[in-house]
Amino acid sequence: MTLGRHASRRVWHLMAVLAASAWLAGCATAPSGGSGEIRTASDQTEAQRRAQIRLELATAYFTQGQVTTALDEVKLALQADPSMPQAYNLRGLIYASMNEDQLAEDSFRRALQLNARDADVMHNYGWFLCQRRRYAEAHAQFDAAIGIPQYRDAPRTLLAKGVCQVRGGDLAEAEKTLMRAYELDPSSPAIAVNLAHVLYRRGELERARFYVRRVNNVPEYVNAETLWLAARIEHKMGNTGGALDFGNQLRQRFPNSREAAAFERRNFND
């Protein structure tokens, strides 16, 4: 079983912000040294300080969409400190955004050569591989990241893995992965909505209703996608009144959305 084209698009849209923040995670922070001591500013050489400043500039430019300028700053960072794994990590993200796949992959691999236990790089590399439909390799990177002791962003990586499993058509495993992510971080709207999408497609309507309702009960989390998913769940459960209620909210709050247009057509399978 696979997600329909439109449903899949919705799931990936919900991941957009997560992916951007995940890719940048760790880019502007210094790793701990091999001796087990925590690195501080006093441990840095002048070259390393210059590299760190360049890397922070590169991260800011990349976040703003100034890709070429970001790449220039990364190059300058690596000229100052060629052993900086975070710079290779960011270089991989930049090249990936430019569709320079081989250069991106080389950068991620170089970052992992310099720090084989960098879970953020593993996450980013896994996301890159997933987007290229290299699912088995992507899952291996996600699992490696999750397996790093004291990795604090396991829910984020489990979410990425779950969405990757959806894209690969493995909804059963995606449900397991997203449930695990939810257990670790029940406050995440992205995890709850992606889990609700999977449950909806698998016919687990009561459970899907539960998770999307948790999101729609928090005003700042509500958007066209969450209301439309709730409407489609109610419609599929035979609750016409509930479906119309969510659809009317959708039409009133997000009148120009694609979801509102689908509701106007009563195309609940969109």
Classify residue 207: in a domain, yes or no.
Answer: yes
Classify residue 212: in a domain, yes or no.
Answer: yes
Mean pLDDT of the chain: 88
Confidence of residue 47 (pLDDT cuts 50, 70, 90): confident
Number of folded domains in the chain? 1
Average pLDDT over residues 254-270: 93
Range of the domain at 240: 187-269
Q: 10 Å Cβ neighbour count for 197?
A: 28
Classify residue 158: in a domain, yes or no.
Answer: no
| Residue spans of alpha helices (H) in 29-153 | 46-63, 67-80, 85-97, 101-114, 119-131, 135-146
Classify residue 53: in a domain, yes or no.
Answer: no
Classify residue 44: in a domain, yes or no.
Answer: no
Buried b (16+ CB within 10 A) or exposed e, 237-265: eebeebbeebbebbbeebeebebbebbee
How far apart (Å, rounded) are the C-alpha atoms in residues 133 and 55?
29
Q: Name the percent of the chain lying above pLDDT 90.
A: 81
Confidence of residue 45 (pLDDT cuts 50, 70, 90): confident
How far apart (Å, rounded) are the C-alpha atoms in residues 106 and 88?
9
Classify residue 192: in a domain, yes or no.
Answer: yes
The reported pLDDT for the residue numbered 12 is 35
How far apart (Å, rounded) are the C-alpha atoms in residues 226 and 112?
37
Read off the tokens for 43: 């441990």
Classify residue 15: in a domain, yes or no.
Answer: no
**CA angle centred on 101, ends 3 and 163, rounded to 5°:** 25
Model confidence pLDDT, tens digit, residues 61-76: 999 999 999 999 999 9
The reported pLDDT for the residue numbered 72 is 97
How far apart (Å, rounded) are the C-alpha atoms in residues 261 and 113?
50
The reported pLDDT for the residue numbered 146 is 97
195 pLDDT exceeds 80? yes
Average pLDDT over residues 142-153: 95
Classify residue 197: in a domain, yes or no.
Answer: yes
Model confidence pLDDT, tens digit, residues 84-128: 999 999 999 999 999 999 999 999 999 999 999 999 999 999 999
Confidence of residue 42 (pLDDT cuts 50, 70, 90): low
CATH code, domain carrying 238: 1.25.40.10
